[in-house]
Amino acid sequence: MFADWPLLSLLVWTPIIGGLVVLLAGDHGGAQGAKKLALIFSIVTFALSIPLFTEFDTTTSAMQFVERYSWISTFNINYYFGVDGISMPLIILTSFITVIVILAGWEVIKTKPSQYMAAFLIMEGLMIAVFSALDAIFFYVFWEGMLIPMFIIIGVWGGANRVYATIKFFIYTFIGSVFMLVAMIYMYYQSGSFDIQDMHNLKLSMDEQFWIFLAFLMAFAVKVPMWPVHTWLPDAHVEAPTGGSVILAAIMLKIGGYGFIRFSLPITPDASHMLDWLVILMSLTAVVYIGFVALVQNDMKKLVAYSSISHMGFVTLGLFVVFMIWENPANSDLSGATLAVEGAMIQMISHGFISAAMFLAIGVLYDRMHSRNISDYGGVVNTMPTFVAFAVFFAMANVGLPGTSGFVGEFMVILASFKANFWFAFLAALTLIIGAAYTLWMVKRVFYGDIANDNVAKLNDLNSREFLIMSLLAIAVLILGLWPAPVIDVMHASVDNLLHHIAVSKL
Amino acid sequence: MTLDALNISIAWPEIFLLSMTCLLLVVDVFLDQAKRNASYLIAQFSLLGTLVLTWVNMAGQRVEAFNGTFVVDPLADVLKIFICLVVSLVFVYSRGYLKDRNIFKGEFYVLGLFGVLGMMIMVSSNHMLSLYLGLELLSLSLYAMVAFNRDSGASAEAAMKYFVLGAIASGMLLYGISIIYGVTGSLNIPEIANNLVKQPEMNIGLIFGLVFLVVGLAFKLGAVPFHMWIPDVYHGAPTTVTSYIASAPKIAGFAIIIRVLVEGLGALQSDWQGMLIILAVLSLAVGNVVAIAQTNLKRMLAYSTISHVGFILLGLLAGTKSGYSSSMFYILVYSLMTLGGFGVILLLARSGFESEELADFKGLNQRSPWFAFMMLIFMFSMAGVPPTVGFWAKLSVLSAVVDVNMLWLALIGVFFSIIGVFYYLRVIKLMYFDEPVSASAIDNTIEMKVALSFNGVIILILGVYPGALMSLCFSVFN
């Protein structure tokens, strides 16, 4: 029944128009008016995203739900939406997380709730558009446009040092992306269109690929973020309101990983091959070094922020280790590479749920105590048993306990890395120890032990709204952990196609 | 000489505007202060009439008049329509401000309209003399307008500076014109072009004249290193006049660059391209870097203008049709967003309070979410962040430069626009993240609020659908 619907347009424009409606309605309709309106729009959007999954044809790698109209004829720019198995799961993740975020802001946001809700709705539309745009400039418009609501969210509803954090966030990302824009314009004059799939098939010399790859690397590495351009993330995460942190960690970071898959690998396969050591080096540094950095944090949000960088290291590792797997003569087929890329994809989705849950858990504590310092807590389990049950579950997922989604992606990437080089796998596997160390140590200090002070003694356990949010995320983490097959099936054809494409040199 | 050779009919918009301005000059004398609104309405009617006449007489192709001194082509028509539109908006924005300061006088409109006439002649000039005539008509009106608030010392100083520097620039231009005349034997622009093609060998006198011409034009446009007057004049002039200077005359400046450098001296493209590269890079650098240090919004926008001029020159120096079209698109977009930026300053100004310091914008979101949002759009548009139209302007100019294999210039352009982002973000930071200093409500005329909202929404709509305006700009040069 959805075959004739312009589903992707609906998914993009419903939240954006919803955001404008909420903005115009303002805060006049009572304290909860804007929030209810926003919730309705976000649920409608989520409902609209479900047919993407149910109607998805898993046998093809071609773009589905395609919509294409001429937009700016002067530069041959098209209004061009379409999804494949790589972008579709990310879109559903986005629409799901936005519902959670709107619920999470229900009681907490007191100043200008309509603007807050509108910013998140508009951002949801922009993020879905980023995942489904198939025209480079069309993609870029949403990619950059996304910065505006996030800039406002961190700056208006953030913590004490929010202005510094948000300007740093904006400028870092902007620096990364403008060079990508120049690369896109360059390719436009080579191929005559901004169509991403035309760019995939565009012949480029090694020199051209080298520079284009670097331009893309700047844009996506900042977004992921990869060491050493990660420094904006801890600041932004710490200062952002809970909802902002959730969106940043759960979705915005994924856009970087998605960019590598959609642009870097297929457009510049030879340069990616040549420079894969650089990306792998950056990824492993993130996994190991940033893991240690997380260990010494006193601020819970900062700890989770560093943990995010460390986990995203697996994504970039999985994407770029494929070239090393091919080089290894022991591997004759694509299966190792498929494992790596699919592992990276699963890791992105799983991290979307887990990091969202971790930030929400910290948000639950912060709303009550107005502190993120680990030292201000202790023995929370005595007063908030239900909450701690959830929080410990998510912490275990963050560590990568088998049965949770955190295990699947990391395990796949580590397994694939073995086929490339023992030491890659060894270093990557260190995260199982380091991750356990920083996560569980935080769990011990915050949740267990005796009640640390009077404030902790006065804590109330989860209310029904918070319980709902936590349960939804816990279910998602469990399903993806126990039965990831449907998600892998969805992406399999597209990943296979991608790997066949990049296995062929463009030179 | 017959009337046919004069071909007067194509100049109807200018003739109408001149008559109306003279009428206003007379009528205004007999109005007492209470009825001054009549002058305002006459001025708006004149602009509207001129716009409509231009629209109705739109020429599909190039038509010359007045023995080849005056030309009407699609380029001229489009630019004239935009000039009228922009100045009309300036007048709307100005009324409350002028009244608050007791300078709500007919002279403002008379001078403003004479300026428009000057700009229209510049846009339509096909002869060096008519070009110079239009330029001087505009400049003289502007000098007087800058000094319009005669009790303000800063205003008088700015006017003096502007006059002296502007006169030097006019002198340069005139000198350049005379040398070109000496070499090519003509002042008629197409004839200059023809004569240049006939004498292919290098001529040192020609280059000499070209240098003076480029200097004069750069002065009028405000490209570095001939930008010194811009910050002082923008800062010292009454904000209404600043919004006038910053918007419409740039459109006319673009037109005379096209007329002189492209249509007249197109054969020397390789020579002026090098000069424009230097001007463009310096403008981008100085404009964006120095703007960061400003605490006064008018000065900040002045430096921002300089950096935009750098971008406009980038498109022009590409020397291709798509380059000129991109520049034209950029200048039209620029005039709209600059107007909006100054419009917000004018909106917030009250009697005795200029609201031109950056700090005056603190907490605007709490005082007026809608106009804070408008300013946000103007700032992001100037910074070139999608989905505002400023992004498309930058994109088209950058792609014109990449098209002629000057990738490095495009990289310099985006590099400095990164720096530029910082000071635009600072304005947004003040409006959204800081607490307001004064809680007073926004008090201005309804028409002003409507027009300003229209201005902001246009920037957004053009950002979502730039195709029509872009095609228009590209069709003009084909």
pLDDT 10s per residue in chain B (478 long)? 455 667 788 888 999 999 999 999 999 888 888 888 899 999 999 999 999 999 988 877 888 888 888 999 999 999 999 999 999 999 999 988 888 888 888 889 999 999 999 999 999 999 999 999 999 999 999 999 999 888 888 899 999 999 999 999 999 999 999 999 988 888 999 999 988 888 766 678 888 899 999 999 999 888 988 998 999 999 999 999 999 999 999 999 999 999 999 998 888 888 899 999 999 999 999 999 999 999 999 999 999 999 999 999 999 999 899 999 999 999 999 999 999 999 999 988 877 777 788 888 888 888 888 899 999 999 999 998 888 999 999 999 999 999 898 889 999 999 998 998 889 999 998 888 888 887 777 777 888 899 999 999 999 999 989 989 999 999 988 8
A229: phi then psi, degrees, rounded to nearest 5: -105, 30
Contacts of B329 in chain A (CB under 8 A): none
Cα separation, A233 vs A269, in Å, equals: 28
Nearest CA in chain A to B410: A182
* Interchain contact, A182 vs B433, CB within 8 Å: no
The distance of Cα A58 from the centroid of its chain, to the nearest Å, equals: 23
Count Cβ–Cβ pairs < 8 Å, chain A vs chain B: 93
DSSP string covering A25-80, please? HTT-SHHHHHHHHHHHHHHHHHHHHHHHHHT--TT--S-EEEEEEEEEGGGTEEEE
Contacts of A148 in chain B (CB under 8 A): 376, 380, 385
* Interchain contact, A155 vs B395, CB within 8 Å: no
* Among A351, A358, A359, residue whose Cα is nearest residue A481: A351
* Interchain contact, A151 vs B369, CB within 8 Å: no
Q: Are A397 and A477 in contact (CB under 8 A)?
A: yes
Instruction: Among A27, A28, A74, A193, pick the best mutation site for testing chain B contact (most B Cβ within 10 A).
Output: A74
Alpha-carbon torsion angle A142, A143, A147, A153, nearest 10: 70
Q: What's the pTM value of the predicted model, to 2 decimals?
A: 0.92
Contacts of B407 in chain A (CB under 8 A): 182, 186
Instruction: Among B375, B405, B414, B471, pick the best mutation site for testing chain A contact (most A Cβ within 10 A).
Output: B414
Q: How far is CA A277 from CA A208, A299, B369, in A?
A: 19, 33, 49
Q: Does B369 touch chain A (CB under 8 A)?
A: yes
Strand partners, A266: none
Q: Does B353 touch chain A (CB under 8 A)?
A: no
Instruction: Among B412, B417, B432, pick the best mutation site for testing chain A contact (most A Cβ within 10 A).
Output: B432
Place of tokens 């605490």: B295
Instruction: Among A178, A180, A218, pick the best mutation site for testing chain B contact (most B Cβ within 10 A).
Output: A178
Q: Does B471 touch chain A (CB under 8 A)?
A: yes
Residue B86's contacts (CB-CB under 8 Å, 6 or more residues apart) are B247, B248, B251, B335, B336, B339
Q: Which of B380, B403, B467 sits opposite A72 (nearest CB)?
A: B467
Cα separation, B245 vs B230, in Å, equals: 10
The distance of Cα A19 from the centroid of its chain, to the nearest Å, equals: 21
Instruction: Among A185, A186, A188, A214, pick the best mutation site for testing chain B contact (most B Cβ within 10 A).
Output: A185
Strand partners, A69: A79
Cα separation, B425 vs B136, in Å, equals: 38
Distance from CA of B434 to the nearest CA of A (A): 9
Contacts of B323 in chain A (CB under 8 A): none
Residue B167's contacts (CB-CB under 8 Å, 6 or more residues apart) are none
Q: What is the pLDDT of residues B109-146, one digit of tens each?
A: 999 999 999 999 999 999 999 999 999 999 999 999 99
pLDDT of residue B437: 81
Q: Which of A142, A170, A186 sits opposite B402 (nearest CB)?
A: A186
* Interchain contact, B385 vs A72, CB within 8 Å: no
Q: Which residue numbers of A have CB closer than 8 Å to B's CBs?
A: 26, 71-75, 112, 115, 137, 140-142, 144-145, 147-148, 151-152, 155-156, 162-163, 166-167, 170-171, 174-175, 178-179, 181-182, 185-186, 188-189
Q: Are A202 and A156 in contact (CB under 8 A)?
A: no
The distance of Cα B144 from the centroid of its chain, to the nearest Å, equals: 18
pLDDT of residue B1: 47
Q: Are A308 and A297 in contact (CB under 8 A)?
A: no
Q: Does B382 touch chain A (CB under 8 A)?
A: no
Joined tokens for residue A224: 């992921």
* Interchain contact, A179 vs B407, CB within 8 Å: no
Strand partners, B308: none
H helices of A72-203, where? 87-104, 113-132, 136-145, 147-157, 162-191, 196-200
* Interchain contact, A72 vs B466, CB within 8 Å: yes
Q: Which of A72, A112, A163 sits opposite B433 (nearest CB)?
A: A163
Distance from CA of A164 to the nearest CA of B (A): 10
Q: Which of A112, A147, A189 sits opposite B385 (nearest CB)?
A: A147
Contacts of B465 in chain A (CB under 8 A): 71
Nearest CA in chain B to A165: B429
Helix (H, G, I), strand (E, B) or coil at B114: helix
Determine the angle formed by the axes of helices B446-464 and B389-403, rounding to 10 degrees: 40
pLDDT of residue B276: 93
Q: What percent of chain A has pLDDT over 90?
A: 28
Q: Are B305 and B456 in contact (CB under 8 A)?
A: no
pLDDT of residue B335: 94
Q: Does B59 touch chain A (CB under 8 A)?
A: no
Q: Which of A115, A166, A182 sits opposite B414 (nearest CB)?
A: A182
Contacts of A182 in chain B (CB under 8 A): 398, 402, 407, 410-411, 414
Distance from CA of B430 to the nearest CA of A (A): 10
* Interchain contact, A137 vs B418, CB within 8 Å: no
* Interchain contact, A73 vs B428, CB within 8 Å: no
Joined tokens for residue A174: 């902007």
Distance from CA of B320 to the nearest CA of A (A): 15
pLDDT of residue A375: 85
User: Using CB atoms and an 8 Å cut-off, which of residues 396-455 of chain B contact chain A?
Assistant: 396, 398-399, 402-403, 407, 410-411, 414-415, 417-418, 421-422, 425-426, 428-429, 432-433
pLDDT of residue B130: 93
The distance of Cα A292 from the centroid of its chain, to the nearest Å, equals: 22
Mark the ranges of chain A whose per-residue pLDDT is less than 70.
1-3, 29-31, 331-333
